[in-house]
Structure 1
Amino acid sequence: MYFCSMIEDKNQKKTSLEELGEFGLIEHLTKSFESKQESTLKAIGDDAAVLDLKDKKTILSTDLLIEGVHFDLSYMPLKHLGYKAIMVNLSDIYAMNAIPTQITVSVAVSNRFPLEALEELYAGIELATKTYNVDLVGGDTTSSKTGLLISVTAVGVANEADITYRNGAKPNDLLVVTGDIGGAYMGLQVLEREKEVYKVNPNSQPDLEPYSYIIERQLKPEARKDIVELLEKLEVKPTSMIDISDGLSSEVLHLCKQSQVGCDLYEDKIPLDPTVISSCEEFGIDSTLVALSGGEDYELLFTVDQEDFDKIKGNPNLTVIGHMTDKSLGANMVTRSGSKIGLTAQGWNSFGA
């Protein structure tokens, strides 16, 4: 881990983007990308990409990441940023129970970024495309007066019968979450703390080994491709699904609102990694609050019919954390003491102060 980005490395070779121009820059950054999807007929190099998706339904998702709002380059390596930018979008495709196939990437950069910085960014993007078997088929580059902006659009495919929306949950459906929750937020807390220490003493070298799991959850999250494949293997079709980007409580409320149901979420069932628990104790933060409101975990939250319980029980990737109820009962968390409190959306808000 380091607390000064490569764009400020005085010994780093810096090639001005003006030397290449827009089209030369795109060609340079994408020359090593290879198309592997049969549906990619034409990728980069023309006015538009050409895709042949045949009889599948097309899924689209897009996200915009802005320096100073969504990421801090003082501790976010550019290669990690490129990788994470793709994960953010692929997670949305998986949340539809679909398979991502192509992406487009557009970037706006200020003149403080040399070519070598963008090469690092695109190295992360390329690693993500290879790991998740998606093709980069287009994008745009332009200048910016406010730092770095990244816009990614993901294309996915699915059979119509397999697509899962947010509005299909029914009373008595089980509420299920993948993986564990809260790690990304606590990783951010550690990074922010060490950033402040670095400002005071630039020579200090933090020992981040005890926090490696939660820091990776923040800097290099993984989209849950494996869950879509697992559910297909188990012959389980979720009744509703969403990815956890804004905090568990916000996502539960989205499912409740879209499906017109209530829910009982059990506090003692929320899966927490031991590192999350210990770091919450260290920072004096309630671990349940972190799980409910932290965000950026990019796990999947979904509902299944109770008849599918035997298919998913005991699976280490899946945890049943509650069940859906009648809309009139509202969305509640059942605390460890057995009392019920109403769930509120306190997750990430792009337009918050």
Structure 2
Amino acid sequence: MIENKNQSKTALSQLGEFGLIEHLTKVFEINQETTIKGIGDDAAVLDFKDNKTVVSTDLLVEGVHFDLAYMPLKHLGYKAIVANVSDIYAMNATPSQVTISIAVSNRFPLEALEELFDGFATAAKHYQVDVVGGDTTSSQKGLIISITAIGYAKEEEIVYRNGAGDKDLLVVTGDIGAAYMGLQILEREKQVFLVNPNNQPDLDAYSYLIERQLKPEARNDVKKLLAELGVKPTSMIDISDGLSSEVIHLCKQSQVGCKLYEDKLPLDPQFINACEEFNIDSTTIALNGGEDYELLFTIKMEDFEKIKGNPHLSIIGYINPEEEGMHLITRENTQIPLKARGWNALQEETE
């Protein structure tokens, strides 16, 4: 829940907007050389010298993107930063600054916002990004968070979605689907709690899945890993909306088709066990779950030997000509057209 009933509460009206901003933003430090001026003036001043600047914005709305019944505010702040810096890593760039804007209703006391900003600050420190601005305003509908992430890269380092070529290999980092199953477990426990508030769930068996939902991490290691391996991706995207959706984005932008192999999908054992418990198909969830914040990219066939056997990377398919279409090859060697079913359709199906 968002608050402990025994805590003291400070109404936001006691501080006013400028007092609130000053109070909440004192947790942020400036560490980047590219930050000339951060919070405290009409605009931030940044200097990237010979690098190209990359910018991405994301919006999180209470009741749509998060549920405060089981999402602690500190975790929410952390996850909001992760979702945005992940987009910068997906350009093969380095995030350096973020701006944070929130709209908040009067049901949130100052102490709740301090928790949220503690999460922002913890993530900013972990990913070495400076918080250089933002805005606060009131909301009639709960909590809304908007974050803009700014980063940089040499022009020759940047990787777009539209560079995949015929016979390129499809590669994914980490494992997929776990964040969605973490959400299913939290939703189930929420329903149990509503019926019996005295029930204390035992979630030890699902610790990895819940962590992937409540405290995901962005792949800040991949740019360095690929550079050390001597591999430059031909296209790249982060997996926030589900693997199949992201594969289709890459293929459409690159005007190519693909073959994706079911038996090559990287699945965590805890994820497989949870799918069996919920009696839902693990492949369906892995393809459509979303919020994994892993990276999906393509590499040239000749780079196969460089990444083969790397524990952080899985080759899950390859690119073919556009006219051949986009297909999933099942374990039975059946070819099925790849569809972007997405999170919402999946949610309806599993309810």
Deviation at 1:349, TM superposition (A): 5.2
Q: How does 1:15-164 map to 2 (within 5 A)?
A: 15-164=10-159
Q: Quick check: 2:93–2:151 contact (8 Å CA) kept in 1? A: yes
Other-structure match for 1:228: 223
Distance 1:81 1:241 in 2: 26
Distance 1:271 1:164 in 2: 23
Gaps of 5+ in 1: none
Q: 1:104 to 1:349 in 2, by over 3 A?
A: farther
The yes-or-no answer on 1:270 pairing with 2:238 is: no
Counterpart of 1:246, as a letter, is: D
Other-structure match for 1:290: 285
Q: Which moved more, 1:165-174 or 1:225-234?
A: 225-234
Other-structure match for 2:9: 14
Count of matched residue pairs: 347
The yes-or-no answer on 1:5 pairing with 2:34 is: no
**Pairing partner for 1:248 from 243, 251, 264:** 243
- Other structure's SS at 1:229 match: helix
Q: How does 1:168-183 map to 2 (within 5 A)?
A: 168-183=163-178
Deviation at 1:234, TM superposition (A): 1.1
Counterpart of 1:128, as a letter, is: A
- Other structure's SS at 1:129 match: helix
Q: Quick check: 2:27–2:118 contact (8 Å CA) kept in 1? A: no
Residues 236-262 of structure 1, C-alpha deviation per residue, up to 9 Å, x if partnerless? 110000000010000000001000000
Deviation at 1:144, TM superposition (A): 0.2
Q: Quick check: 2:2–2:112 contact (8 Å CA) kept in 1? A: no
Q: 1:83 to 1:38 in 2, by over 3 A?
A: same
Distance 1:142 1:349 in 2: 29
Distance 2:11 2:289 in 1: 38
Runs of 4+ displaced beyond 6 Å: none
TM-score by length of 2: 0.98
Other-structure match for 2:330: 335
Other-structure match for 2:315: 320
Distance 1:299 1:53 in 2: 27
Counterpart of 1:305, as a letter, is: K
Distance 1:25 1:198 in 2: 34
Deviation at 1:99, TM superposition (A): 0.2
Counterpart of 1:13, as a letter, is: S
Distance 1:32 1:117 in 2: 15
Residues 49-68 of structure 1, C-alpha deviation per residue, up to 9 Å, x if partnerless? 00011110000000000000
Distance 1:203 1:32 in 2: 36
Identical-residue share of aligned pairs (%): 70
Distance 1:304 1:195 in 2: 42
Distance 2:277 2:311 in 1: 27
Other-structure match for 1:303: 298
Counterpart of 2:133, as a letter, is: G
Residues 144-177 of structure 1, C-alpha deviation per residue, up to 9 Å, x if partnerless? 0000000000000000000000000001000000
* RMSD between superposed Cα atoms in Å: 1.1
Counterpart of 1:157, as a letter, is: Y
Distance 2:340 2:296 in 1: 15
